[in-house]
Amino acid sequence: MAPPKDKPGPKDPRPCSIADALALVGEKYSLLVLREVCLGNRRFDQLVRNIGAPRDVLATRLRRLVDAGILTRRTYSEHPQRFEYRPTEAGLELEPVLMTLMAWGDRHLRKDDDRPMVVEHSCGNELVPTVTCTACGAPVRHEDLTAHPQAPGWTVTGPAAA
């Protein structure tokens, strides 16, 4: 019974895959969980220590990430029951997000060279990730982008843009 509106009202935020993705992995600690499992740390106590999250919150996040298909929970020992968490394919495909965030942090949050972690690429060099356009290979710069919302009523530069 939702009457179609011209202008989206207060209760219908912009439909958007960024928002949808963040609904899954945007809660506190979720991306840090992913960082750890991508680093190969798969166990609950390890995660608690390395992330610094409260145990109960971490347990909640892990359930959510498993439900979302980003992590798997595998038994690595019955008697006593013990589990490990690993990234799924979908989880691994979030690693670029982590690398991009890390690069940003390295660049803007520490001018000097105290990078707390260096990632090596198989080509032999330190990984400095760039986001590029798959079609033309050029690095993605803001000025080169034009957004086209697919749903009606949504603008990208309000009618009152300066």
155 binding partner (options DNA, a second copy, none; Cβ < 5 to 8 Å by kind): a second copy
Rounded to a whole number of angstroms, the minimum distance from the CB of residue 7 to DNA is 9
The verdict on 121 binding a second copy (CB under 8 A) reads yes
Report the C-alpha gap between 92 and 87 in whole angstroms.
6
Among 1, 75, 112, 147, binds a second copy (CB under 8 A): 147
Determine the residue type at 28: K
The verdict on 119 binding DNA (CB under 7 A) reads no
Rounded to a whole number of angstroms, the minimum distance from the CB of residue 2 to a second copy is 15
Maximum CA extent, the chain: 66
CB nearer to a second copy: give 59 or 106: 106
The verdict on 32 binding DNA (CB under 7 A) reads no
Q: Are 26 and 83 in contact (CB under 8 A)?
A: no
State the CB neighbour count (10 A cutoff) for residue 22.
13
The verdict on 82 binding DNA (CB under 7 A) reads yes
Structure tokens at 145: 């982008």
What single DSSP character describes residue 8?
Answer: -
The verdict on 22 binding a second copy (CB under 8 A) reads yes
User: In sequence order, what DSSP letters do the residues of 52-77 get, joined into one string?
Assistant: ---HHHHHHHHHHHHHTTSEEEEEEE
Interface positions with DNA (CB under 7 A): 27-29, 43-46, 53-57, 59-60, 62, 73, 76, 79-84, 160
